A and B are shown apart, each in its own frame.
Chain A
Amino acid sequence: MAAYRYGYSAVLFILCGLSVFLVTNGQETILTGDDGAAAVDSPQTVTETAEQTAEQPAVEERQWEVTEVEEASPDEAAADKQDASAPETLVPPSVPRPKDDFQEELVIRPLHSGDIYASFQFRTLWETDFMRGNKVSHYRLFPKSLGQVISKFSVRELHISFTQGYWRTMQWGQPFLPAPPGAELWVWFQDSVTDVDGTWKELTNVLSGIFCASLNFIDSTNTVQPSASFKPLGISNVTDHRFLRYATLPREIVCTENLTPWKKLLPCGTKAGLAVLLKSEKLFHSSFHSQAVHIRPVCEDWQCKTTSWELRQTLSVVFDLHTSGQGKREWSLFKMFSRTLTDACPLASSSKVYIDITDNPEGEQFELIPATPLLSQAVVLGDRRTFSVYDLTQQITFGAVRSLNLLIRWKSTEGDMLRPLLHGERYVAGYGLQTGEIHTLMYNNHPYRSFPVLLLDSVPWYLRLYIHTLTVTSKAKDNKPSYIHYQPSKDRVRPHLLEMLVQLPPNSVTEVTVQFERALLKWTEYTPDPNHGFYVGSSVLSSLVPSIVAMDTNSTQERPLFSSFFPCKEESSYFVRVYTEPLLVNLPTPDFSMPYNVICLTCTVVAVGYGSLYNLLTRSFQIEEPSLGLAKRIANIIRKMRGVPPL
């Protein structure tokens, strides 16, 4: 270990010297040398790469080591125990602005039903370029595993979510980050990728390993290329949907084994900051749990001169009033997470807790302890919301007990929730195992504005959709979609994809129905519990909903993280994505216990056909001669020998 450390610092030393040399040469090479360790990027990584390949198993460990160095350097040089042999590296080569940045944030929204919604967002920004041919090998805040995925597979954007439970829009309002039940993955590849399907296959397998999830079950039968519903969320100039892949696994069950690798991607792990609250025994004892990773390129400034990679890790959870809250309308951090907050993540440039108090301006609905003087306003989902803010980087927040345990205590259960303007539902109609009908209901709750909605349906091939039975009705009238993109399924190859743009009239329900036929599969194609049914992923409703207040179109200005996820192009409307329920559909099943019997019986019938025809074809009619008995024949032989005529 000591030898290794020595070797490492020697390499650092050499590289630092090299970089100084390069600076003096006036080359254009970008230096990442921020306030501590000499950073490495760009062309001179040959030695580094060689070392990396030689010590592949130690990757994780080294990443942490580097992080520790970084963490230690701004505070006290004395705390630095590791790099004592190379004191030169501690001298900052005069770069003021760090190239990466980490923010963490927790939003708590008390819901009218008495439940509570907590949403964590962790954002890492890094100004680097994974794509420029050279290998990025020095990682500080950005997780190396994901960085390598981005550069290896030429990913432009990656969005992955794991969700347990269904978000009840009509009870809870719109979530900050929508996600369908199960796993969802959508990826935009760079336009330099030639074999998109092959890359996608490899990527899903790699992600499956990173997140300990069954993403390797994503194959061509559940992957689609939506033409309009999933536009890149970061900066992009390419919107050719050949480079987009979208897949859902509605049956995926999310649990601790998915949470642990997710937490490991955080710079502070679960050791400090907001992440200490993420204890799986509480998080999974909830009515809704959703964790996600979003990677995309974003603009650094208004003119978009520099771009950086954004990694957002989000985790949303809804605690139930009765199961988690014991029926008492009183929530505290301790009650929710069985932990309290004691510090911010030292690597974070900002670490805040927001409590939504919009419905509680005078404190008549609930009471917040400890109170905070800091208030913040943000436009979220077309509505101006007010938040109480607790800044964890300030020591004063933690008070004398050096621990923050927020307490929200209801005073009255009055009040009304702002009805979500867009809402979707879906169910299967019909009976029997032969045919059925999928009904999708889309609610426009806006009193006087109509708006268009993009509906995306991806249905597995074994439900054979009949597109000629598609009807769209709103207010008992036919509502012809202005755009339909339909890709029929291929058996065992690809699913159905139905995308359409429907204008929802104000204050109405629009019903989309389409009939399907259930296929009989081969017996090996059924799941181990075939009579449980087959899941069909959620439909996705994407829409620009008219906003009550002017939306903020400047994406680069400082805003709370939860309000800045979907880019906003115009002030009068905001983007909403709503997922409907996944469907559970029963298929007819063969009898799994008797393949041998079926093979034998069918072959017998074929043999009966063959045999009877063979008989008639090869034989001819003859008169039946009665054959003599054995005794008579022997007697005849004896008589013949005796010279007597036979019997």
Chain B
Amino acid sequence: EYEIVLPGVSGTALQKNVSVGSPTKVELTCKLDENSNLKNPQVTWKRGSETISHTSKTQNSWTIQLTISDSSQLGSYSCILKGEVEVSATFHLQVPQIEGKERPIITYEGDLAVMVCKTEYAPMAWTWYMTNGTELVAINPSSHTNKFRIKRQSADVNRLEILKLTKEDIGVYWCEAAFRLGSSKRRFELRVLSIMAPLKPFIAVVAEVVILVTTIGLYEVYSKKKGEGEREFDQIEQL
């Protein structure tokens, strides 16, 4: 059910990620673009150094069928087309990854911190860890009801809430999604700032606004007085 179309010219290697959570049958197809110059290439499917035989082939496509039953069968499978030029494409079979970029979470003392993990397919179990030195300690919300809350928003979205933040909560947290064929993790860096941190630029900008408004006001009063003075002078002249 997964396909890559090769253009037939050598360039950057084409890749595709295939998420496999539980044992299943997977079909990988390499298809040659109709407009390519490569004709009747010799096709080999490889995984590392091991060659795999085709399951089926048509005019321009070559397919292998794999039965994934345990984690040792995950990895990178490539099809290599040899002709005048050699082109290849790779399928990366892996456990579903947790979505999201690595970015620090910035919160404030007394506030609430929220970390959300989402996967493509629902895992068997979700676990959250906090780091104690170099160790990963699983978070058990029932033993710290006032501090941690774990909410299951849906089967594939899980959420950790840390309440009443203090500076001691700063550190690295992990969420782990466990699948039959393995697990994937995501890292969160929590930063807790004091209220003073944004207050400094805030006061600076407010001060700038006040200074500017006052300056503009004073300038206007000054130029009005000057204008009135000139007008009186003109009127006196007319007399």
Note whether A and B form a binding pair.
Answer: no
Interface residues of chain B, those whose CB is within 8 Å of chain A, are none
